[in-house]
Structure 1
Amino acid sequence: METFNIIYPSPVLAPYIRYYWLLKVDTISEISETSIPVGCINLIFHRGSRMFSETSKELQPQSFIGGLSTEFTELTSTGNVDMIVVVFQPFGARAFFALPMSEFFNSCISVNDIGDISLKELANQIQDNTDSLSSIALIEKHFIKQLHSFDDHNYKRIVTAIEAVNNQPLININSLSDMTCLSNKQFTRIFTEYVGAKPKEFTRIIRFQRALYILQTNPQISLTQLAFECGYYDQPHLIKEFKTFSGCTPTEFMANCPPYSDYFSTL
């Protein structure tokens, strides 16, 4: 039996957290899935068995921060699955953690290794709490408290840049730095600190997510037209990026599962 739910954050946290998702799978059979880059940092709490990464050949930590990724990961279950996942806004995680978000790039860092005592205590509370709604309440209480110490000096700049990336497939880094009134070097440094990847890497992920969303809403579109609408140079460029981020071509992807963009479907 499998249950999957999405819960949206309270209004005070909505600018920083997109949603929480909860997954429970009660089965003795092994399940597998491919995790693809989404463009958002996650905080994952395993209350059941941990997932095994076939890519890195190791178990995921019990509770960890999953940084922005430019790689797909093959995961398999090792028992009953019971997960709570906090999905941050692309620029939101920086409000709650003292470290630059680039420290988590292409990595899964255990809560125990971050040096945040209050987050470690939260992870222990979640581990011992079998009620999902009260667990979400604990998470919200923790992050609302963290907000009081957040210095948002550059926050609006990054929000402006992300909105431009979302709305303009062909936007370039020079335009992003200009609209935030920063030099290219300053913009890249601040963007990477907040988002967890350099602007070029982030725009690649969002271009891929845009392609998924268009395939989701218009599955009959040609690959040539899809490449044009998403800002790829040409069809071979689209196919190459698709294979990098998902492990297969667009045609193979659609043959295996219905395309779905976690990024654009929940904007």
Structure 2
Amino acid sequence: MQTFRIIQPTPALKPFIRYYWILQDSTSGIVSQRTLPTGCISLVFHRGERLKVTNRNELQPHSFICGQESGYSDVTSTGDIEMIVVVFQPHAAKIFFRMPVTLLRDKNVAVADIENPALRDLAHRVEDSASHDTSIELIEDYFYKCLMSGTPYHLPRLTDVIRHINNFSQTNIKTLSDIACLSEKQFSRIFSENIGTTPKDFIRIVRLQRTLSVLQHNPGIGFAQLSYECGYTDQSHMIKEFKLFSGYTPKEYIARYSPVSDYFTF
């Protein structure tokens, strides 16, 4: 049996946290899933058995930060699943971890390996808490305490940049640096330190997520129209990018999965 819940953060945390999700699955047998880059950094707590990342041949840590990803991963269950996951706004994770989040790219970094006693204590308390609701309360209390030490100076300009990327299927670094009122060199450095990947790669990931969203809501769309709506130069460009990030062409992907955009849906 599987249950899945999306929980919205309190209004004060909404500028920093997109949502929380909770998954429980006691399905007998092995469950496999392909995950694609979402454009967001996550904090993951396993209260059940851990997942195996098969293409890296490694078990996920009990509690870990999942950095920005540049490609797909295949994960497989190893028993009963019980996960609580925090999905940050694209530009907000650095506020809570106090490090350049480029260091997390393409990594699952165990909370136990981070020099942050308060975060390690949170992980233990979430794993041992009596209920999911209590776990969310513990997590939100931790985030509130983090915010008491202030937010980064560049947060408002990065908020404007992310909003522009979300609203326009085509953009470029010059436009984004102008929105941020920074030189292109400054902008690229600050963006990467706060978002965890380069502006160019982030735009490509959001374009992938936009493609999934259009396929989700308009499954009958032609690929030529799809590539135009999502900001690709042409259909062949879309197919190449989609396969790079997912391992499949769009046609192959929708034959195997129901397209859902984690970035634009929740």
Per the TM superposition, whether the score is higher than 0.5 is: yes
The Cα shift of 1:130 comes to: 3.9
* Alignment deviations for residues 96-148 of structure 1 (CA, whole Å, 9 cap, x no partner): 11111111111110001111110000001111124100000000000000001
Larger CA deviation: 251-260 vs 10-19:
251-260
* Map of 1:66 onto structure 2: 66
User: In the alignment, what sits opposite 1:244?
Assistant: 244
Which residue pairs with 1:215 in the alignment?
Answer: 215
The alignment-based identity, stated in percent, is 48
Q: Work out the CA distance in 2 between the residues paired with 1:124 and 1:245.
A: 34
Q: Which runs of 5+ in 2 are unaligned?
A: none
1:131-146 alignment runs, 5 A limit: 131-146=131-146
Contact 1:67 1:196 in 2 (8 A): yes
Query: Residue by residue, what CA displacement relative to the aligned partner does 1:177-235 show, whole Å, maximum 9, x if unpaired?
Result: 01111000100011111111110010000000001111111111111111111111211
Q: Is the 8 A contact 1:2 1:24 kept in 2?
A: yes
Counterpart CA distance in 1 for 2:57 and 2:253 is 24
**Shift of the alpha carbon at 1:21?**
0.2
TM-score of the superposition, structure 2-length normalised? Answer: 0.98
Please state how far the C-alpha of 1:161 moved relative to its aligned partner: 0.5
* Helix, strand or coil at the partner of 1:64: strand
Root-mean-square deviation (CA, aligned residues, Å) is 0.9
Residue 44 of structure 1 pairs with residue 50 of structure 2: no
- Secondary structure of 2:133's counterpart equals helix
Alpha-carbon distance in 1 for matches of 2:224, 2:85: 36
Rounded to whole Å, the distance in 1 between the matches of 2:60 and 2:241 is: 26
Structure 2 distance, partners of 1:92, 1:153, is 12
Displacement after TM superposition at 1:152 (Å): 2.6
**Corresponding pairs, count:** 266
Maintained 8 Å contact 1:41/1:93: yes
AA aligned to 1:26 is: S
Aligned to 2:32: 32
Query: What is the CA deviation profile of residues 12-35 of structure 1, one whole-angstrom value per residue up to 9, with x for unaligned ones?
Result: 111000110000011331111011
For the residues of structure 2 that align with 1:127 and 1:239, how far apart are their CA atoms?
41
Work out the CA distance in 2 between the residues paired with 1:25 and 1:129: 18
Q: Deviations over 1:144-170 (max 9, x none)?
A: 000011333100110010011001111
Task: State the distance in 1 between where 2:148 and 2:95 align.
Answer: 9
Structure 2 distance, partners of 1:243, 1:135, is 37
In the other structure, the counterpart of 1:84 is: 84
Determine the C-alpha separation between the residues in 1 that align with 2:113 and 2:237. Answer: 38
Structure 1's 101 and 64: CA in aligned 2 closer, same or farther, altered over 3 A?
Answer: same
- Structure 1 moving runs of 4+ over 6 Å: none
Distance (whole Å) between structure 1 residues aligned to residue 29 and residue 232 of structure 2: 40
CA distance in 2: counterparts of 1:17 and 1:234, whole angstroms: 34
Distance 1:224 1:166 in 2: 21
Aligned position for 2:171: 171
Aligned partners of 1:34 and 1:72 also within 8 Å: yes
TM-score (norm 1): 0.98
